[in-house]
Amino acid sequence: MPGLCSRRSGRRARPAWPFLVLMAAVALLAAACSSPGTPTPPGPTTAAASAGPAKAVIPPDTRAGAQLRWLIAAVAHLPMSGAQVRAHFDAPFLAQVSPAMLNQALQGATGVKLLSIQVSEPSMLVAIVSTSGVIPRAQVALAVDSQGLISGLRISPATTAPVPATWAGVNAALRTVAPQVRLLVANVSSGSCQPVDSIDPATAAPLGSAFKLYVLDALGHAVASGKVHWNQPLTVTAQLKSLPSGELQDQPDGTQISVQDTAAKMISISDNTAANMLINLVGRPAVEAALTTTGMADPALDRPFLTTRELFILKLDQWPALADRYIAANQAGRQALLASTIDRAPLPAVAAAQAWTTPRDLNSLEWFASANDICRAYTSLAALARRPGLSPIGQVLSLNDGGLQLDPAEWKTTWFKGGSEPGVLTLTYLATTRTGQSYVVTVLAENPSQPINEGTAAPVMLSAIKGAFTLAARR
């Protein structure tokens, strides 16, 4: 489905804002729907042996360990009562994640067993658990506040594919996930993309939710010009609501949220309604201008720049008749069809999206960019984030590391945005070493004829990307 969805901080700092990931949703990884809640471990890791049938692993004797012990036990007896949740999570967490949301998100986590402790500190830990749900192994990162209450929780798939140790291994692994794969590994420390390794990096491909990088860039320029402010309130309206991923579509009309929090949701949990709200705020022409200013080779591919609501309508409403009309039209005709028909159509039901399981017009109805284009978008965002008053750009992009889990002893920040729909799986990263060297790794996987099995493809892609970052940093 299109538009599917850790901030680093000092030792023992509280997470930037809490959330969690549905352990049962395989698509969460490509969709960027992993948690911005818990910071990447700031210190040396403390690894325990993997649990085997004859040897049990127990949580450490710390405040964080006590909460992990409670959480594993509580998941076996869902739903948790509101009183039970309030007794274990702090107020800032619960201000954004209700007991009902928590119960819903954890429903797929059945038969949880602790396998190992990767990091253990008094106020935070990272553990690997097994489940009998869709994701067999998951990483749980948990942080507690000064009172011992859970202040951050991130649950994401644990990668199991081997990490390639050579560029040939990286490329070979990526070529197994889809018939068409584009890759760019580039050093961006100088502010431009210096290629290190690539596979067909100049060919445009469907992006899924990675298009939201261009919305964020347009937002950054709007803030820089003084037209928009980070604390400016935005209003959730029926006309701007979209289908999941995200959560703003479930909020009552009239709900207000700041620009910065809207951007955080758009990037870290890939909230589709948040993306629509920001496109509406800055204006479609501003996002289309960002395509050019970031250096996209063929910006006409994304004009008119669609909202997530528009793409859902095109791919779900009267399929394929309405889509065929749109595809056949020129840019002016498409703009007229949006205004006269598509923007007046009701939002399709969630059931319609759930029934969309095979690729639909991947090469003619999507958001498009090449791996080179995405690298240039990241360098543009990095330049913006260094300007006075624009640091929230970096904060938003680093809330969610996309499950990459780079070694925190070597890497200080990871930016991520991914995307998917049937036949599309996109993972894009910018990571910076502790010595200040920055690299972009972008992978665009496409199968126009059948869906990509994200359960098997995502771990392979993640491991290959991790290998690419490691190799690039050692050059």
Distance CA 246, CA 254 (A): 17
Q: Give whichever of 38-42, 69-73, 106-110, 111-115 has the largest mean pLDDT.
A: 69-73
Using alpha carbons, select from 408, 440, 439 the residue that is nearest to residue 427: 440
Q: What is the pLDDT of residues 273-328, one digit of tens each?
A: 999 999 999 999 999 999 999 999 999 999 999 999 999 999 999 899 999 999 99
Q: What is the DSSP string of 146-200?
A: TTS-EEEEEEEEPP-SPPPSSHHHHHHHHHTS-SEEEEEEEE-TTSS-EEEEEES
Q: pLDDT tens for residues 117-137?
A: 877 777 788 788 888 755 677
Give the CA distances from residue 220 to residues 66, 171, 392, in Å, rounded to whole numbers and listed in that order: 41, 34, 9
pTM for the model stands at 0.75
Lowest-confidence pick of 86-95, 191-200, 421-430: 86-95
